Amino acid sequence: MGRIARKKQHKGDKPLKEKYRTKRKTKDLDQIHVDMRPENSERLLNQDVDLDKAGAGQFYCLHCAKYCISKAALESHFRSKPHKRRIKALQIEPYTQEEAERAAGMGSYMAPKKVKVQTQPSKDATESTGLMDT
């Protein structure tokens, strides 16, 4: 065994720290499905001004649970790969207790259903369409 092989045997607790790191922890998919309900989404998309949040809390991505600093940043986030991945992950119906019981052998298997998820419309687009209808 050479000097290099002997030296790299002890990793310490660094892999554990990286595994359980919660600094950039985001909402889970089932929590976002709850936020996507009409009564919750209306409240989240039309928040009061809060200077402690990025962009004063006015530019919020509902699907990623992320605040952006400006409208341009939000629009570029909608075109980004992480946002598109999150949209695709949200298209599968969240797990329920009934599905867990079926997996444990207390019922027959049913494939998860698809949920139609689209990127939220921007505030200016909804306001301009409202003006065109009148």
pLDDT in tens, 26-84: 888 888 888 888 888 888 888 888 888 888 888 888 888 888 898 999 999 999 998 88
Predicted confidence (pLDDT) at residue 127 exceeds the cutoff of 70? no
pLDDT computed for residue 125 by the predictor: 54
- CB neighbour list of residue 34: distance below 8 Å, 6 or more residues apart: 40
Structural domain contains residue 37: yes
Domain region containing 98: 27-116
Q: Quote the CA–CA distance of 109 and 103 in Å, as a whole number.
A: 7
Structural domain contains residue 10: no
Beta bridge partners, 114, equal: 92
Type and span of the H or E element at 75: helix 71-78
Cβ atoms of residues 94 and 33 within 8 Å: yes
Type and span of the H or E element at 66: strand 66-67
Domain total in the chain:
1
Structure tokens at 40: 């919750």
pLDDT computed for residue 130 by the predictor: 43
pLDDT in tens, 74-114: 999 999 998 888 888 888 888 888 888 888 887 777 777 78
Predicted confidence (pLDDT) at residue 133 exceeds the cutoff of 50? no
Top pLDDT among 56 and 21 is at 56
Q: Quote the CA–CA distance of 113 and 107 in Å, as a whole number.
A: 17
Structural domain contains residue 9: no
Structural domain contains residue 2: no
pLDDT computed for residue 52 by the predictor: 80
Structural domain contains residue 45: yes
